[in-house]
Amino acid sequence: MVWNIILLLIGFVLLIKGADFFVDGSSSVARLLGIPGFVIGLTVVAMGTSAPEAAVSITAGISGSNEIAISNIVGSNMFNLLVVAGLSAVIKPYKIEKTMLNRDFPVNVGTSLVLLLMLIFGLTLSRFDGIILLVAFILYIGFVLYKAFKNRESNLDTEVKTMSPVLSIIAIIGGLAAVIFGGDLVVDNAVAIAEALNWSETFIGLTIIAIGTSLPELVTSVVAARKGESGLALGNVIGSNLFNILFVLGMSVTISPIAVDSSMILNAVILFVVTLVIYICSIIKKGMGRIVGGTCVASYIAYTLYLIMTTV
CB-based contacts of 236, cutoff 8 Å, min separation 6: 41, 42, 45, 46, 49, 84, 217, 220, 221, 224
Among 8-17, 53-62, 217-226, the range scoring the smallest mean pLDDT is 53-62
Per-residue pLDDT tens digits for 176-206:
888 778 877 877 787 787 778 777 767 878 8
CATH class of the domain at 2-311: mainly alpha
Q: Count other Cβ atoms within 10 Å, centred on residue 276.
A: 14
Per-residue pLDDT tens digits for 93-148:
878 778 778 888 999 999 999 999 999 887 788 889 999 999 999 998 888 777 76
Q: What per-residue confidence (pLDDT) applies to 256?
A: 82
Q: What per-residue confidence (pLDDT) applies to 47?
A: 67
Q: What per-residue confidence (pLDDT) applies to 159?
A: 42
26 has pLDDT over 60: yes
175 has pLDDT over 80: yes
Q: What per-residue confidence (pLDDT) applies to 299?
A: 95
261 sits in the region (left: phi over 0; alpha: psi -120 to 50; else beta) called beta
Share of the chain above pLDDT 90, in %: 21
154 has pLDDT over 60: no
Among 18-32, 51-65, 81-95, the range scoring the smallest mean pLDDT is 51-65
Q: What per-residue confidence (pLDDT) applies to 260?
A: 80
Query: Measured between alpha carbons, how far is 117 from 64 in angstroms, rounded to an integer?
Result: 23
Question: Domain-by-domain residue ranges, the chain?
Answer: 2-311
217 has pLDDT over 90: no
Q: What per-residue confidence (pLDDT) applies to 160?
A: 44
Residue of 165, 167, 173, 147 lying closest to 39 (CA atoms)? 147
Assess contact for 190 and 9: CB atoms under 8 A: no
* H helical segments located in the chain: 2-33, 37-40, 46-49, 51-63, 66-79, 85-91, 98-99, 105-121, 127-150, 165-196, 201-203, 210-226, 230-243, 250-255, 262-285, 290-311
Q: What per-residue confidence (pLDDT) applies to 77?
A: 93
Q: What per-residue confidence (pLDDT) applies to 37?
A: 61
